[in-house]
Copies of this chain bind each other. A is one copy, B any other.
Amino acid sequence: MQHRTAREIRHRNRFSLLRAVYAADGHTSRQELAAQTGLSFASVGNMIAELLDVGVLTELGHDANGIGRPRAKLAANPDRGLLVGVDTAETTVHVDVFDLAMTVRRSVEVPIDPDATDPPAIADLIAATVTDLVGDDGDAVLGAGVIVPGPVEPTGGVSLFSPYWSWKGVPFRGLLTERLPYRLYLDNPLKASTVAELWFGAGREIEDLVVVTLRSGVGVGIAVDGTLLRGVTNTAGEWGHMVLLPRGRTCRCGRRGCVEAYIGAPGIAHTLRELDPASPLFSSDPLTTVAAIAAARDQEVAQAVIRRTGEHLGIAVANLINLVNPRTIVFGDSVAGYLGEALLEIARPIIAEYALGDPYQAVTLQLSGLRHNPVSLGAATFALEGFLADSDTFGSVSARRAKPGK
């Protein structure tokens, strides 16, 4: 256990360092990295040497400010390799290819055939889409993260349950491994969004945060001291299925009165239906309906939908604040993109009313600043973490160092 702890600390320090490099966006020196991570200058120096050695970092030239000797600037090396992020949602598969500077190189989104949603069919679709998008660059791929909806057991790579399809206990990573020659990481959207925020969003500065994902499904990721709280079956954060109104609406999960039944995209469409069953804002896709509500914000019915949704959001967020007492809550993903600001405006006074005084004073509520789909970015981040924690990546360095005569 102590051995594992030492390894984990080494990985965690390596992650911290690289997070600081990404945050600095190319203007980083060893001195600044030591200050920002709180690590000693010596251990920052060692880690940088190691990361330069394996090509993860690159020197961008020197910053000669006239005082002392010039300081080398460091950045993640975009040419070191590619990371694939796959966001499997209810009706689409979205794939991004990132370089190691986490710049999106290529993207594609393909529809899911509603008649072909058994696990092998979805695995075929993902594999074909990834293979197409990667093209001739397969050798450069360092890993691929694949996100599927619902609870996931990441170590074994098992989808425990899918809210959309009749999956139960599907060894989905195994199905993908038969089809794709990459190191694969399977996880769920809430965990992915949170890891994306920790590496590239609000979590770069704040280590105690809750990331609220608002899309078709809703839920949260809880980070304590920079570490994602997974829970014993990796299902911590199922805030969307906490009871908001006992004996309320039937939720997609089969239970009644869940948070998601009111503030997920279908829940918002449901509220519109209650208020105006014949509204021209409807479309067959709930997220398109949400977009239409956002665009019609000057209409009374849209305002009423936003008001009710914001009130429900407010109570559910106050509950979260009372239980978890985070520094920051970040709201992200598609529904937040369309309606985040409007919903927060309604929710804030409700939160102030229902949250306890001190934790309410201590918390900051903000919309995600990530410009990219947080789920595919998080998927690629899992692959990045795996690459950075992989002894194959660094083992060769130690071997080289141990045998300098080789």
Give the B-binding residues of A (Cβ under 8 A).
1-3, 5, 9, 13, 37-40, 43, 151, 160-161, 208, 220, 224, 229-239, 241-246, 253, 255, 315, 318-320, 322-327, 353-354, 356-359, 361-363
User: Please, how many angstroms separate the alpha-carbon atoms of A151 and B40 in the complex?
Assistant: 35
Given contacts A231-B326, A325-B231, A325-B236, contact A161 B242 (CB under 8 A): no
B242 lies within 8 A of A323 (CB): yes
A2 near B38 (CB under 8 angstroms)?
Answer: yes
Given the known inter-chain contacts A151-B358, A362-B232, please indicate yes or no for A1 contacting B39, CB distance below 8 A.
yes
Specify which of A5, A224, A230 lies most central, judged by the most chain B CB atoms within 10 Å of its CB: A224
Q: Known pairs A231-B325, A238-B325, A244-B246. 10 more at Cβ < 8 A?
A: A1-B39, A161-B357, A161-B358, A231-B359, A232-B325, A232-B359, A238-B322, A242-B322, A243-B315, A253-B356
Knowing A1-B37, A1-B39 are in contact, say whether A243-B318 is a contact too (CB < 8 A).
yes
**Copies of this chain, tallied across the complex:** 2
Question: Quick one: closest B residue to A355, CB to CB?
Answer: B241
Question: A315 vs B236: C-alpha distance in the bound complex, in angstroms?
Answer: 17
Chain B residues whose CB sits within 8 angstroms of the CB of A234 once the complex forms: 325
Q: If A13-B2, A151-B356 touch, does A232 touch B245 (CB 8 Å cutoff)?
A: no
Residues of B within 8 A of A237 (CB): 323, 325
Q: Which residue of B lies closest to A43 (CB)?
A: B2
CA distance A359 to B152 in the complex (A): 12
Tell me the bound Cα distance from A44 to B320 in angstroms: 40
| In the complex with contacts A233-B325, A238-B323, A5-B9 CB distance below 8 A | yes
- B1 and A354 contacting across the interface, CB-CB below 8 Å: no
Instruction: Tell me if A233 and B359 are in contact (CB < 8 A).
Output: yes
Q: Which residue of B lies closest to A255 (CB)?
A: B354
30 contacts between A and B (CB under 8 A): A1-B37, A2-B38, A2-B43, A3-B40, A9-B9, A151-B356, A161-B357, A208-B231, A224-B224, A231-B324, A231-B326, A232-B327, A232-B362, A232-B363, A234-B325, A236-B323, A237-B323, A238-B323, A238-B356, A238-B359, A239-B322, A241-B356, A242-B318, A242-B319, A243-B319, A244-B246, A245-B246, A246-B315, A253-B356, A255-B354
The residue that A233 contacts in the complex, of B244, B245, B362, with Cβ under 8 A, is B362
The answer to whether A324 touches B243 (Cβ under 8 A) is: no
* A229 contact set on B, CB distance < 8 A: 224, 324
Q: Complex Cα distance A338/B333, Å?
A: 47
CB distance from A115 to the nearest CB of B (A): 26
When A9-B5, A358-B151 are in contact, do A323 and B325 touch as well, CB less than 8 Å? no
Query: Beyond A2-B13, A354-B243, A358-B160, is A325–B235 a contact (Cβ under 8 Å)?
Result: yes
